[in-house]
Amino acid sequence: MSTVTVKVNVNGTPRTIEVESRTSLADLLRDRVRLTGTHLGCEQGVCGSCTVLMDGLPVRSCLTLAASCDGAEVVTVEGLDDADAHRLRQHFSTEGALQCGFCTSGMLVTGYELVRRRTEMDRDQVACALAGNICRCTGYNGIIRAVQKANDDGMAVDDLT
């Protein structure tokens, strides 16, 4: 098995990591950088648990090869720490938007990119935007409410940086 050297910035820290060519971004993050907030559910792009930001956009880290990330900036759930991320966390807490927590990191990353787009959205639009993330315990109502509230807050304060 051949190896590749990947230079990737993870949550603000530049790293140079040698991996087997077949390594996914998810495995690089979890096994090599030890950031286990990124969860692996289905490993076929359906469940959304492994969603991370790559150069500001959400991607499935299980369907992204580490080798394709050379030079990229990756942000995982551990790296979300601005006002939008704070509001999301707050509303996830108050709306009861998590139970076992397995899907939560993917929901937060997907929700974060959504609220950063600063688009007015009703409940149905938020539900559709979260359709690529599967939750198997809490149910979706709390999650949808939390993301919608964080989106409304973001629209109101307009502190996009």
Q: Nearer Cβ to another protein, position 131 or 157?
A: 131
Look up residue 43 and give its DSSP letter: S
First-to-final CA distance of the chain? 43
| Residues 46/110, Cβ–Cβ less than 8 Å | no
Tokens representing 57?
């956009």
| Residues 66/6, Cβ–Cβ less than 8 Å | yes
Taking CB under 8 A as the binding criterion, the range among 7-15, 74-82, 85-93, 108-116 that sits at the site for another protein is 108-116
Residue 111 found at the interface with another protein (CB under 8 A): no
Residue type, 8: V
| Residues 73/54, Cβ–Cβ less than 8 Å | yes
Instruction: Calculate ∠ Cα 133-137-140, nearest 5°.
Output: 50
Q: Give the footprint of another protein on residues 1-30 (CB under 8 A).
A: 21, 24
**Smallest distance from the beta carbon of 94 to another protein, in angstroms?**
25
Residue 73 found at the interface with another protein (CB under 8 A): no
Residue type, 5: T
Instruction: Determine which residue in the list 13, 16, 44, 161 makes contact with another protein, applying CB under 8 A.
Output: 44
Taking CB under 8 A as the binding criterion, the range among 31-39, 50-58, 86-94, 145-153 that sits at the site for another protein is 50-58
Residue type, 69: C
Q: Nearer Cβ to another protein, position 120 or 156?
A: 120
Sign of the dihedral through C-alpha 59, 61, 67, 72: positive
**Smallest distance from the beta carbon of 55 to another protein, in angstroms?**
9
Residue 45 found at the interface with another protein (CB under 8 A): yes
How many residues in the shown chain lie near another protein by CB under 8 A?
Answer: 27
Contact set with another protein (CB under 8 A): 21, 24, 43-45, 48, 51, 54, 57-60, 62-65, 67-68, 110, 113-114, 127-129, 131-133
